[in-house]
Chains A and B, each alone.
Chain A
Amino acid sequence: MAKMNMLQAINNALDLAMAKDDGVLCFGEDVGHFGGVFRATSKLQEKYGKARCFNTPLTEQGIAGFANGMAAQGMKPVAEIQFADYIFPAFDQIVNETAKFRYRSGNEFNVGGLVFRTPYGGGIAGGHYHSQSPEAYFAHTPGLKIVVPRDPAQAKGLLLAAINCPDPVIFFEPKKLYRASVGEVSEEYYEIPLGKAEVLQQGKDVTVLAWGAQMEIIQKAVDMAQAEGISCEVIDLRSIQPWDVDTVAESVMKTGRLVINHEAPLTGGFAAEIASTIQKKCFLHLESPIERVCGLDIPYPLALEKEYVPDHLKTYEAIKRSVNF
């Protein structure tokens, strides 16, 4: 075990994947010699050469299309989109190409092994264009797997599983935690299965669910609620697509209540999908309406960021509403 921050854990995962399989490549804007603007690919060019770790011209649609082609040939490209806010020029390549490659060809061709890594989320005074959480746009596209880790050990295991996955994966990295989240990480190769939520804390009154950087926010709210005698079950969804319906439903059948938190705007966010499925699966077990604590339905602001975010206080209030309904 070694102490790593999330960037070091991601770098370590990429290093192991490249050492294990010659077909794994890393590329994107500033990814080569410089090691990426956040340094997630630091030293990889030095170690594996310019052919396998390189800078691309500044074109997200190009990066995504290039990655599709490489993966179709059988390699395992790990393409970086510098900020999730800049993924949209690549939207066509990802939504119409990556996601449908296997299906449209009757499995003649596929882009399994392709991973898009991209930093997402706020909390860094980044305004509209360095803060967004666009997971729901992609969750609406069958054919893509979507993963969001909460800490360094999770990031490493989930990223290695994503690279080894026979389907294309979008790997959203909570950039607020890149350096802030530090923990013990095994230096060995290991994978954490995709599509499985993790129950981090058992409880009986209410289930509180989030993913990525919001996990530490809900934990803070849960700590406040527990101090008042409310017993909370805490779940990290980890995979947005496919998402672990069984684990969430089982928990809600026990607690009878659900609070979902995400940083993206409320309307059309992934919490809506979860709430809809859970009310159907757990209808007769629900004691109160499912609560969503999300971003406001506005572009991500700057000066009033604190007001926008679904913070621990808003989550705590939702837990209380849920329990006292």
Chain B
Amino acid sequence: MTNPNNATISTVHTAEFTSGHALQIPTLRILQDDGSIYPGAEVPQLDQATALKMYDSMQFIRILDERMLAAQRQGRISFYMQCLGEEAATVGSAAALDDKDMIMAQYREQGALRYRGFSLEQFMNQLFSNEKDLGKGRQMPVHYGSKDIYYMTISSPLGTQIPQASGYAYAQKLRGLKNTTICYFGEGAASEGDFHAGLNMAAVHKAPVIFFCRNNGYAISTPANEQFKGDGIACRGVGYGMKAIRVDGADILAVYKATQMARDYALEHEEPILIESIAYRLGAHSSSDDPSGYRSKEEEELWRKNDPISRYRLWLVKQGWLNEDEDKAKSDALRQEILDALKVAEKVAKPGIEHLMSDVYETPIPLLNEQLEELKAHIRKYPDAYPVTAGRFE
């Protein structure tokens, strides 16, 4: 017996349900908490320079997050989102890619962005919505993007990037590029209709896309056990007919290994892959959120012990690739650099008034030019009410 998919269907003659938990996907761990390798685990091929670049990116993000959340609390920026607890997942996956593989992220993947080479100044300019921001000060803080480093600009609506990643990767394939697209999203966003659409289309059209689900336990206040039943997100990939793997998202070697394998497979076979990374969102959802209303300190402390950076640091020290004193001095210097860059970026002017209208269309339509002229005349009349733009145009 066959179905229209030509898959062979085995038959039975007594009615029996398949359990909703029949498929249990194990979690890949390579690195132990003490920085040693699990017996029998295979360490991915990593040279010292790459390994240290990964470490530096994680440290950079940890310290940037700490500093910028404080800046938000001081009222210097309007909003912030930390990556705390998920540095390994975002850096480790980005490190396994080619620099020209497209990254389509959700909003908590600054680790991947940093690894790709987004500079401290670029981070600051976006966070302060100033005129040097590549996004022209139009989006809330942390909505980064850069064409130069193949990082698609972030959009707040959840899951919209998932079918887009399928389409982008399909186009890469048609163009004959030996590049893939990685698509990050959370376990909450995996409930959106776009998740189903994106995975199914990628599978049907054989798009070489890596779906990277950051299952971090919470969608704002909603715990994963109120988000889905069954064995997490990885098993859904199997339902769509694609390969899937689950990794410990706090284990950077496991994340790196899984993503490297996924990339090789996706390109060789022109197929999508689903990776589910299990880590924990140690910080609040955003600077507007307070987790004390929905989870306990004890729970947070339990996960804090699973810190992805300290685990990796222990391994690097064991390898003889990292000196703890030098590391400490480097972190202190970085804190100062961040503070200095912050002070510079907050003094840079906001984008000019013409950037209200630019980019709505490739060339502003007449209606927009008319509205801009009316607005300018109005601002000339009431300059004190519009201090950001008044006096900055003829």
Contact = CB atoms under 8 A, between A and B. Distances in A.
B379 A307 contact: yes
A303 B388 contact: yes
User: What interface size band does chain A fall in?
Assistant: 35 or more
A304 B371 contact: no
Interface of A is mostly: loop
Contact of A58 (B143, B156, B192, B367): B192
B360 A299 contact: yes
B197 to A, nearest CB: 11
A271 to B, nearest CB: 15
A41 B192 CA distance: 23
B155 A129 contact: yes
A122 to B, nearest CB: 12
Interface residues of B, number: 49
B351 A303 contact: yes
A34 B293 contact: yes
A58 B221 contact: no
A317 B294 CA distance: 48
A62 interface: yes
A142 interface: no
Interface in A33-74: 33-35, 37, 55, 57-62
B380 interface: no
Contact of A297 (B220, B289, B360): B360
A217 to B, nearest CB: 13
Contacts of B189: 58
Contacts of B227: 57-58
Interface string B332-375: 00000000000000000011010111001000000110010001
Interface in B180-195: 188-189, 191-194
A32 B226 contact: yes
Contacts of B222: 29-30, 32, 34, 55, 57-58
Nearest to A267: B367
Interface stretch (A82-90, A187-195, A206-214): A82-90
Among B226, B360, B367, B389, chain A packs the most CB atoms within 10 A around the CB of: B226
B378 A313 contact: yes
Given A298-B356, A298-B368, A33 B156 contact: no
Given A58-B192, A88-B157, A127-B140, A307 B375 contact: yes
A126 B139 CA distance: 8
Interface in A303-323: 303-304, 306-308, 311, 313-314, 317
Contacts of A59: 191-193
Contacts of A30: 219-222
Interface string B209-224: 0000000000111100
A303 B378 contact: no
B188 A303 contact: no
Contacts of B156: 85, 127-130
A57 B224 CA distance: 9
Nearest to A59: B191
Contact of B139 (A32, A35, A296, A302): A302
Given A61-B193, A304-B388, 8 more contacts: A29-B222, A34-B220, A127-B143, A128-B156, A297-B360, A297-B368, A304-B351, A307-B379
Interface of A: 29-30, 32-35, 37, 55, 57-62, 85-86, 88-89, 125-130, 266-267, 296-299, 301-304, 306-308, 311, 313-314, 317
7 interchain residue pairs of minimum CB distance: A303-B137, A129-B156, A34-B221, A57-B191, A58-B188, A303-B129, A125-B78
Interface of B: 78-79, 129-130, 137-140, 143, 155-158, 188-189, 191-194, 219-222, 226-228, 288-289, 293-294, 350-351, 353, 355-357, 360, 367-368, 371, 375, 378-379, 381-382, 385-386, 388-389
